[in-house]
Amino acid sequence: MEYLALAKSLAVDLTVVGPEAPLVDGIVDAFLAENKLIVGPTAAAAQMEGSKSFSKQVMAEGGVPTARFVEVFTSDDALAALAQFTYPVVIKADGLAAGKGVVIAQTHPEAIETIQQFLGGSLGEAGKKLVIEEFLTGEEVSFIVLTDGKSVLPTEPAQDHKTIFDGDLGPNTGGMGAYCDSRILTADQRAVVINKIIQPTLDVLRHRGTPFSGFLFAGLMITSEGPKTLEFNCRFGDPETQPILFRMEGDLGEVLLALAQQRLHEVKLAWNPDPSICVVLAAHGYPAKVRTGDVITGFDLAEAAGAKVFHAGTKQSGVQIVTAGGRVLGVTTGGSTLQAAVDQCYKAADHMHFDGMQMRRDIGQKGLKRW
């Protein structure tokens, strides 16, 4: 595997895997086979993100609260399954589909059309098996833990903003901004998430002989009946990672080394109690076809205004930095209150400029009611 060869040639001590595709493809198995330290789940455990039906089965086995679901392979079975649900109904392609594999169908004809497209191959192999599930309502929360397969270290709750436009309107994106605030979950909700969602899920995977190691990301819906699981990811989320790490104190490298060496019980995570926020600056055209090559300015002023500006889709072109992807930058700040963090973040973000720049203006607004 090319990554393994690279890690060896650079004498890398510890590799931390960001995206899901190499995890599902077995990068961790390849590194472990050669005793190279790496943070992430094996291919078998990464199926928690790689296959929706796999993760639903694990949840069912562990009694984890989640939406009622049916798994189908054919349109006839899908039609029969639809009769068990009301609308809107959620149709999910089983495999990895880069954020395009979930459709919330408002009507029966829309559900049928989605099912036919997915089963017909619009997403390739990813859509050859489907999960049809009950639509849940509530507020979405991202909750990420670090685990070495035995110990679990929770991080702090965050909330992503998935659609491109303010007010949760428009098409879904990879995430247009997130904030991290301990008030997102009450103590009771946090206990439910850890004891009824995270722990039973990890227990099932361990009992199956495929323990999960790395970052386990639970995408939750806080329903009137309590937290329920929408999905699991097998990595740190984007843009949740930026505000979560902004609040983390201490040396993340030491923690990840302990995780990779299966001695996570020896370390602790410490948190700045103040909330944090990341506003994503996205390129012209995103989330459809993006334009690249637009010159970016304002880094110095934004950082002088107290922000950390994380690069995502950028590249150096001569002396300039230009756009090179959909989500270009993540402007991140903290504050003594959520409102203060929001105000400072937008002040900093307003110093940034590139042609066609898109930014939501309402990141963090939902959290203000908890203050």
- Give yes or no for residue 90 binding ligand AMP (CB under 6 A): yes
Cis peptide before 273 (omega within 30 of 0): no
- Report the partner that residue 135 touches, choosing among ligand AMP, ligand GLY, none (CB closer than 5 to 8 A by kind): ligand AMP
Token pair, residue 58, equals 């694990």
C-beta of 134 vs 294, nearer to ligand AMP: 134
Decide: 257 and 14 in contact? Cβ < 8 Å. Answer: yes
- Give yes or no for residue 233 binding ligand GLY (CB under 6 A): yes
| Binding-site string for ligand AMP from residue 204 to residue 233, where x marks contact by CB under 6 A and - marks none | ---------------x----------xx--
Q: How far is the CB of 86 from ligand GLY (least distance, A)?
A: 27
Q: Which residue has the tokens 């639970």?
A: 218
- Give yes or no for residue 240 binding ligand GLY (CB under 6 A): yes
Cis peptide before 275 (omega within 30 of 0): no
Of the candidate spans 59-67, 236-244, 257-265, 284-292, the one that interacts with ligand GLY by CB under 6 A turns out to be 236-244
* Interacting residue with ligand AMP among 67, 198, 309, 324 (CB under 6 A): 67
Token pair, residue 335, equals 């504050």
Cα–Cα dist 217/236, whole Å? 7
Cα–Cα dist 255/178, whole Å? 23
C-beta of 32 vs 104, nearer to ligand AMP: 104
- Give yes or no for residue 366 binding ligand AMP (CB under 6 A): no
Cα–Cα dist 219/199, whole Å? 15
First to last CA, the chain: 49
Q: Alpha helices of the chain — where are they, by DSSP H?
A: 2-9, 20-24, 27-33, 43-50, 52-62, 75-82, 108-119, 187-192, 199-207, 241-247, 252-260, 299-304, 338-349
Q: How far is the CB of 46 from ligand GLY (least distance, A)?
A: 14
C-beta of 85 vs 286, nearer to ligand AMP: 85
C-beta of 85 vs 236, nearer to ligand GLY: 236
Q: Which of residues 119-178 bind ligand AMP (CB under 6 A)?
A: 133-136, 140, 162
* Interacting residue with ligand GLY among 94, 133, 160, 181 (CB under 6 A): 160
Cα–Cα dist 176/182, whole Å? 20
C-beta of 233 vs 333, nearer to ligand GLY: 233
Residues that bind ligand AMP (CB under 6 A): 67, 90, 92, 102, 104, 133-136, 140, 162, 219, 230-231
Give the residues lining the site for ligand GLY (CB under 6 A). 160, 175, 233, 237-238, 240
